[in-house]
Amino acid sequence: MTPAHVWIDGRIAPADEAVLTAFDRGFQLGDGVFETLRARAGRPTELAEHLARMRQSAAGLAIDVPDDLESIVAEAIDELLMAEGLAGPDGDASVRITVSRGPFFGRGLLPPDEHPAPTIVVQAWRVRRPPAAHLEVGLHLVPSSIRRDPENPLNALKTTSRSDYVYARVEARTAGADDALFLTIDGYLSEATSANLFVVRRNDEGSIELATPSLACAILPGTTRSWILRWAATAGLEVREGLLTTRDLHEADEAFLSSSVAGILPVTRFDGAPIGAGIPGPRTLRARADREAFIRGAEAIR
Ligand SMILES: Cc1ncc(COP(=O)(O)O)c(C=O)c1O
């Protein structure tokens, strides 16, 4: 079901109404930032964390966000979920918050001195269960031909300029895979097009380790990634953030992706070759179950 409404700058509008001027810099230049999160039963998950990251992304592009962004967005989400019929006990929504620099009727890249009022948009979609194959068989990832530079300050900003990510997704589709994995310019693992990567393996001391590319590997610091790093202790896993190679992925026992809306998804093949036993592993499945319980509000880990 497609959304019937959108929230824009303080009002609910029909989803198919023209609500933005073509002069909005978000439309013209991808000059904006966004966040996507999950809301179960009308309750947004980790809203504070998402809005903190949104403020950092906006600050990186020198976009002025209102001081009361948090209360504006919380009210907007409430109103929109009600309008979309997603606020009830069975409601399960993916919520996107977009803030663009706003309309500017001149030309050029340099943000105008007069600081247009930013455009704030909230959208919501009903969350569908992932395709059975994603959970039962797991995802096949292929490396993207786009390499990421760890020194690029934009890596950690969630901007609406997503053409690298769209390009990589199209590459994956062309290769018959489910998603693409970015590598850094030095050949280390980075992240997928909209998720962070984890591998599970036995380390030299014989303990089971949960390893993930560090923040120095050109990744977005995912909110779900942070949660998983805290969760690991409860699952008896030792955490290691660092540099990982494609060999680490090929030789892992398990691998998974993490993101706010899709949650935890098993990765069972990389570039045509199976990872571990080539089926979703037990720690991956536990991570998924525990994260879903947390989103439902039924889990102790905060
Ligand atoms: C490039 C990228 N990496 C990682 C993530 C995961 O972040 P989060 O767990 O906050 O959803 C996302 C989320 O959309 C993303 O776009």
Choose one of 166, 194, 226, 258 to mutate for the ligand 1 pocket test, by most ligand atoms within 8 angstroms of C-beta: 194
User: Residue 160 — pLDDT band, cuts 50, 70, 90?
Assistant: very high
Q: How far is the CA of 114 from the centre of ligand 1 (A)?
A: 32
Cα–Cα distance measured from residue 13 to residue 27, given in angstroms and rounded to the nearest whole number: 18
Q: Determine the average pLDDT of the residues in 177-194.
A: 98
Give a yes or no: residue 301 inside a domain. Answer: no
186 and 246 co-located in one domain: yes
What number does the ligand 1 atom closest to the CA of 158 have? 16
**CB of 225 closer than 6 angstroms to any ligand 1 atom:** yes
> Could you read off the pLDDT of 82-126 as tens digits, one per residue?
999 999 999 999 999 999 999 999 999 999 888 789 999 999 999
pLDDT category, 55, cuts 50, 70, 90?
A: very high
Q: Cα separation of 21 and 68, whole Å?
A: 24
Range of the domain at 49: 5-126
Residue entry with tokens 């966004």:
34
Nearest to 95 by CA among 118, 122, 70: 122
Q: In the prediction, which pLDDT does 181 show?
A: 98
Could you identify the atom of ligand 1 that is nearest to the CA of residue 223?
A: 10
The number of distinct structural domains making up the chain is: 2
From 50, 163, 179, 220, give the residue whose CB has the most ligand 1 atoms within 8 Å, as the site to mutate.
Answer: 220
**pLDDT tens across 202-251, in order?**
988 889 999 999 999 999 999 999 999 999 999 999 999 999 999 999 99
Ligand 1, atom nearest to 224 Cα: 9
Q: Which of 61, 96, 126 is the last residue of a domain?
A: 126
Helix then strand count (H, E) for the chain reads 8, 15
Q: Is 144 in the pocket of ligand 1 (CB under 6 A)?
A: no
Taking CA atoms only, the protein residue closest to ligand 1 atom 14 is 194
Local confidence band at 132 (pLDDT 50, 70, 90 cut-offs): confident
Is the distance from the beta carbon of residue 258 to the nearest atom of ligand 1 less than 6 Å?
A: yes
Strand partners of residue 295: none
The answer on pLDDT for 302 being more than 60 is no
Please count the other Cβ atoms lying within 10 Å of the Cβ belonging to residue 194. Answer: 19
- Span from the CA of 110 to the centroid of ligand 1 (angstroms): 27
Asked whether residue 57 is assigned to any structural domain, the reply reads yes
Tell me: do 138 and 263 sit in the same domain: yes
CATH assignment of the domain containing 76 = 3.30.470.10
3-state secondary structure of 79: helix
The answer to whether the pTM exceeds 0.85 is yes
Q: Are residues 65 and 203 in the same domain?
A: no
CB of 190 closer than 6 angstroms to any ligand 1 atom: no
Nearest CA, atom 4, ligand 1 = 195
CB neighbours of 236 closer than 8 A, spacing ≥ 6?
A: 208
Are 184 and 150 in contact by the 8 Å Cβ rule? The answer is yes
Q: How far is the first Cα of the chain from the last one, in angstroms, to the nearest whole number?
A: 32
Determine the atom of ligand 1 nearest the C-alpha atom of 49.
10
Clarify whether residues 117 and 137 are in a common domain: no
CATH label of the domain that carries residue 154: 3.20.10.10
Average pLDDT of the chain, as a whole number: 96
Nearest CA to ligand 1 atom 1: 194
CA distance 27 to 32: 9
pLDDT, mean of residues 185-200:
98
CB of 191 shorter than 6 A to ligand 1? yes
Calculate what percentage of the chain has a pLDDT beyond 90: 92
User: Do 168 and 213 lie in a common domain?
Assistant: yes
Closest-CA residue, ligand 1 atom 16, reads: 194
Q: Same domain, yes or no, for 116 and 151?
A: no
What are the phi and psi torsion angles at 210 (to 5°)?
A: -110, 110
Task: Give the pLDDT band (50/70/90) at residue 66.
Answer: very high
pLDDT of residue 299: 52
Mean pLDDT of all residues in 20-29: 96
**Residue 145: how many CB atoms within 10 A of its CB?**
11
Domain boundary among 81, 102, 126: 126
Question: What pLDDT is attached to residue 116?
Answer: 84
